[in-house]
Amino acid sequence: MKRHHPLNPNESKVILQKGTERPYTGEYEKNKESGIYVCRQCDTPLYLSQDKFDSHCGWPAFDDAIDQAVERVMDIDGRRVEILCNRCKAHLGHVFLNEGFTPKNTRHCVNSISLRFIPLKTPKGLMRAIFAGGCFWGMQYYFDRTEGVIETVVGYTGGNVVNPTYEEVCSHETGHYEAIEVTFNPLKVDFEALCRLFFEIHDPAQENGQGPDIGPQYRSAIFYLSNPQKMLALRLIQELSKKGIEVATDLIPATTFYPAEEVHQKYYEKTSKTPYCHFRTKRF
């Protein structure tokens, strides 16, 4: 099952018809925020903000892409190398080599209109984190009780269907995880503390499910929004491995997070029940 974002005429001209937006007009040309750039059509994570640089060429420039996210093909003009989203084949722009802009000697020249940006921080300066660890009801129950957590939303992410429904995710055909987006105040709680909580409220060694809930939507994952988030999560996974825990948690670049239906938000708060498949177990 696949479903893409609908495109307006300007987006279609670039993404489908391989056009080019005018230089110095793109939404992200001067963007310096931390986060991840994903494909505007299908949500595939394409570039980390740490790989973006100012090339003074009029379009967003990156000297590297997320592994296997971007495909290179010879342009129809026979001179340049075109870059495409590896999943949906959306036109992104062109790649140029040996220009000397950065030590990697690579410039992905990308149309802003081919991208969506997922920021690490909120407009108020709060931080964001995204976790998946079984039924999102139980995950929300524990994160909501953590000092420094400002807001939590349960939803779906990591799949190949735009705006999925709960029924579609449960069909196992969307590729989405049940997940939780956590907004937190970094002055009161840091990402490491949230990761440690995450690893202690579910079994990170269980594959393809959590507790009695079995299925790909219940897999364990951390969707990182920056390289520091990735490296910190990796360090904790290595720490758990040294303790003899065979961690099954995936580390995945963040992509678009789709909030779940209202009936799933704050489920245990609404029902006055407690989680049946999430229990706090000290692991650190």
**Which residues are tagged catalytic?**
109, 135
Q: Which residues contact 69 (CB under 8 A, 6 or more apart)?
A: 44, 45, 46, 47, 85, 86
For residue 8, the one-letter residue type is N
CA distance 38 to 88: 12
Integer Cα distance of 240 and 284 in angstroms? 8
Residue 48, classed as helix, strand or coil, is strand
Do 197 and 142 meet the contact criterion of CB atoms below 8 Å apart? yes
Length of the chain counted residue by residue: 284
The pair of three-digit structure tokens given for residue 230, joined into one six-digit string: 């990735």
N- to C-terminal Cα separation, the chain = 40
